[in-house]
Structure 1
Amino acid sequence: MAESQQPHLPLPPKPVDVDVIENAISELLRGLGQGDKSEVMSQTPRRVAELYAQSINPGDIDIEEDFKVFDNPGMQDLILVNDVHYVSLCEHHLAPAFGVAHVGYVPDRKVAGYSKLKKGLNYLARQPQLNERLVVDAVNFLEARLQPKGIAMVLRSAHCCIALRTNAPSQEVVTVIERRGALCEERYWSPLWASAVAEKPAFLGR
């Protein structure tokens, strides 16, 4: 597929209005019974608004321009990239989710720099998301640009919405998988899966 024919991103950047966010957070705090705390109401809404603006839709990244691929120098077997950390927002509760991705692909004519795999995933993660959508979007993104013989991704994440509801640190690990082509074959899939579940993600402790 020629570069000019590459598909558009599944979740393109959306406009962010910091003032609207600030006003909404002020109302949220009042609704939570915090409106009488001047130290909270004076600065917190703006801080939260700026945090969300910086965390969602990073405007300084042109992912289409940044994501470069290279001619395959002759690699015929599996390429694994493990422990790619990402942070996203749970679409249902707007609470952070901390995750680790494990990616494997069998190249055909193209390979990608390892940092580009991380950049593509993080671009798609930095907006309200569902893990089930994120893994599909990320694999679609990589598959369209690499056109490999096979590709798979394992996402393992912990969700703050669980911790907030239970008032306890979340130790549950949610795992979602998407695999295609040659990565459905056991000889390629087994090394990726073994490395993905070998240890708990570092942010959950060992």
Structure 2
Amino acid sequence: MTKDEELQYHYSKILSLLGEDPQREGLIKTPERVGKAMRFLTQGMTQSPHEILRSAMFKEDYRQMVIVKDIDFYSLCEHHMLPFFGKVHIGYIPNGYITGLSKLPRVVEVFARRLQVQERLTMQIKECIQEALNPLGVIVVIEAQHMCMQMRGVEKQNSLTTTSDFTGAFREAKTREEFMQLITHGR
């Protein structure tokens, strides 16, 4: 049996355990669709974010802050396998090398397309950029809504969770403040 067939088999069993009839007209293809969706939503497990960054590294003497903000992301909480989603803001100060700007959202996508927690997602993005580019500093801020808090449990629809992590030059309060000012400007 292929992995896709196994996923379909198990999702069919889950439907039965939930009291549904997997042979009901509306559910016949559901195990196949859910299996494909889960493979898509966790495809980051087989991708290398370091390779993505290194594929577009350019020698450059620029040593000021580079920011890519409002990067949309969608992930699955590893505790309930429910979605969490929001915005990622990334800043780094080059130290001889820059990367293509589209590569930062791609790194976010790779780490988000795994079973995750927001805290780890924040650290993984920061560590990957630090390791691949060796900049003078990296900062990552994530603002997210968690369906596990909105649809079940405490059911707080308007809650927003913010996490941040930083290295190097961003350890200085003045540098962090400049970054925060730049990502909130215009809101």
TM range (shorter): 0.7 to 0.9
Paired residue for 2:92, among 105, 109, 127? 105
Q: TM-score, normalised by structure 1?
A: 0.79
How far residue 163 of structure 1 moved from its aligned partner, in angstroms, is 2.0
State how 1:1-206 maps to structure 2 within 5 Å: 17-35=3-21, 38-57=24-43, 63-67=49-53, 68-72=56-60, 74-165=61-152, 170-196=157-183
How far residue 194 of structure 1 moved from its aligned partner, in angstroms, is 3.0
How far residue 169 of structure 1 moved from its aligned partner, in angstroms, is 7.5
SS in structure 2 opposite 1:171?
A: coil
Partners in 1 of 2:138 and 2:50 — Cα distance?
Answer: 20
How far residue 191 of structure 1 moved from its aligned partner, in angstroms, is 2.5
SS in structure 1 opposite 2:170?
A: helix
Partners in 2 of 1:59 and 1:165 — Cα distance?
Answer: 27
Aligned length: 184
Taking only the aligned residue pairs, the percentage that are identical comes to: 26
Partners in 2 of 1:76 and 1:31 — Cα distance?
Answer: 58
Q: CA RMSD in A?
A: 2.5
Measured against aligned partners, the alpha-carbon deviations of 1:40-59 in whole angstroms (never above 9, x if no partner) come to: 43111111011111222259
Measured against aligned partners, the alpha-carbon deviations of 1:63-108 in whole angstroms (never above 9, x if no partner) come to: 4543221112x32221111111111110001111112100111111
**Greater CA deviation, 188-197 or 174-183?**
188-197
Please, which runs of 5 or more residues in structure 2 have no aligned partner? none
Cα contact 1:78–1:188 (8 A) shared by 2: no
Partners in 2 of 1:167 and 1:41 — Cα distance?
Answer: 30
In structure 2, do the counterparts of structure 1 residues 191 and 97 end up closer, same or farther at CA, with 3 Å as the change threshold? same
Partners in 1 of 2:157 and 2:182 — Cα distance?
Answer: 23
In structure 2, do the counterparts of structure 1 residues 153 and 36 end up closer, same or farther at CA, with 3 Å as the change threshold? closer
Cα contact 1:139–1:153 (8 A) shared by 2: yes
Cα contact 2:145–2:160 (8 A) shared by 1: yes
Cα contact 2:44–2:109 (8 A) shared by 1: no
Q: TM-score, normalised by structure 2?
A: 0.87
In structure 2, do the counterparts of structure 1 residues 110 and 19 end up closer, same or farther at CA, with 3 Å as the change threshold? same
